[in-house]
Amino acid sequence: MTYCVGFLLEDGLVFASDSRTNAGVDYISTYSKMHVFQPSPDRLFVLMAAGNLGTTQAVLNRIRRDLDRGPAAVVDPEAAPDLRTARYLFEAADYIGRISVAVQNTFAESLRQVGATGEASFILGGQITGQPHGLQMIYPQGNSVIATIDTPYLQIGESKYGKPPLDHIGHTKLSLEDAARLCFVSQVITRRSNLTVGPPFEIAMMPRDQLRISRRLKYAKGAPEITRVVEIWSRTMQEGLARLPRFAWEEDPL
C-alpha cells in the first residue's frame, strides 16, 4: 500500500508521501512516490502515485518519454495537451489519466486472470503561469477531482488512519510549514497503525506563483524527526484524554 496526501493552501501547495511498496507481506520494498516535473520554465508539477507499481512506473516512463521528445517545431493545435502544452492543470490531469487508463488496459486481462488489478491513483499538483496553483486527484478510471477551499486536501492509498487530523485542524490558511507538519503527522500516525505505510517519508513545499519547490525533505527510517513526532503526538493525545469531561459519577479531579 501507500499513503500520499496533498494540501492546497492560500500560500501554495504541500505534498507528503511514504515510500513503502508491498506485494503481499513478503515482498516489501522502497520506492519514492513523489515526482517533480518542470517541462518548461512557465510550469511546475508534482505527481504522487499509489496503486499497482507496474502501472505507476509505466505512467512515469511514458510521461518522461513524451518530455524527451522535446517541443514540436510546430505545435499541432489538434494534438491532445501533455505536460508541456497543457494550458490548465486539468488538462495535465486529463493527460495523465489517459496514459494511466492506456497502461491499465494493456495489462488488464492478464492481471485479471491472476485475480489482480493494475489500478493506480495519482495526485497532481502544480501551477502554470497565468493560472492559479491547484491540486487534483486522478482516479484509476482517468477522471479527476480538484481540491477546493472546502476540501483542501486530497489523499490516495491508505487514507483513513491519517484523515482525522486533516479533517479537524486542516484549512487553506495554514502556512506551508504548518501544513507540512500536519501532513507529516498524518503520515506518521498512519505508519504507526498500518504496516503497509512506511518511511522514508518525503515532503515537498511549493509556494504559490514562484514555480519552484522551496523545500524538499526526506525522513528515513529511524530519523529522530519521526520519533519526535510520535512522542509529541502521543503526549498530545494523553493530555487530550485527561482533558475530556469526567462522567457524572466521577469525582471532579480539579
Site residues (vs its own copies, CB under 8 A):
160-165, 167-169, 177-178, 180-182, 184-185, 189-190, 192-194, 215, 217, 225, 228-230, 232-234, 236-241, 243-247, 249-250
User: Please, what is the angle between helix 89-113 and helix 53-68, to 10°?
Assistant: 130
> 133 to each of 8, 47, 226, how far by Cα in Å?
8, 14, 29
* In contact, 56 and 48? CB cutoff 8 Å: no
Question: Of 110 and 238, which CB lies nearer to its own copies in the complex structure?
Answer: 238
By beta-carbon proximity to its own copies, the closer residue of 112 and 246 is 246
Q: How far is the CB of 217 from its own copies (least distance, A)?
A: 8
**CA dihedral for 10, 15, 16, 17, sign (positive or negative):** positive
Minimum Å gap between C-beta 137 and its own copies is: 17
CB of 195 to its own copies, least distance (A): 12
- Nearer of residues 132 and 164 to its own copies, judged by Cβ: 164
CB of 180 to its own copies, least distance (A): 7
What φ, ψ does residue 28 adopt, rounded to 5°? -110, 130
Q: Which is nearer to its own copies, 27 or 247 (CB)?
A: 247
* CA distance linking residue 136 with residue 148, whole number of Å: 10
| Secondary element (H or E) of residue 81 | none
Residue 177 Cβ vs its own copies, minimum distance, rounded to whole Å: 6
3-state secondary structure of 230: helix
Nearer to its own copies, 136 or 190 (CB): 190
3-state SS assignment for residue 56 = helix
**Contact call for residues 81 and 45 (beta carbons, < 8 A):** no
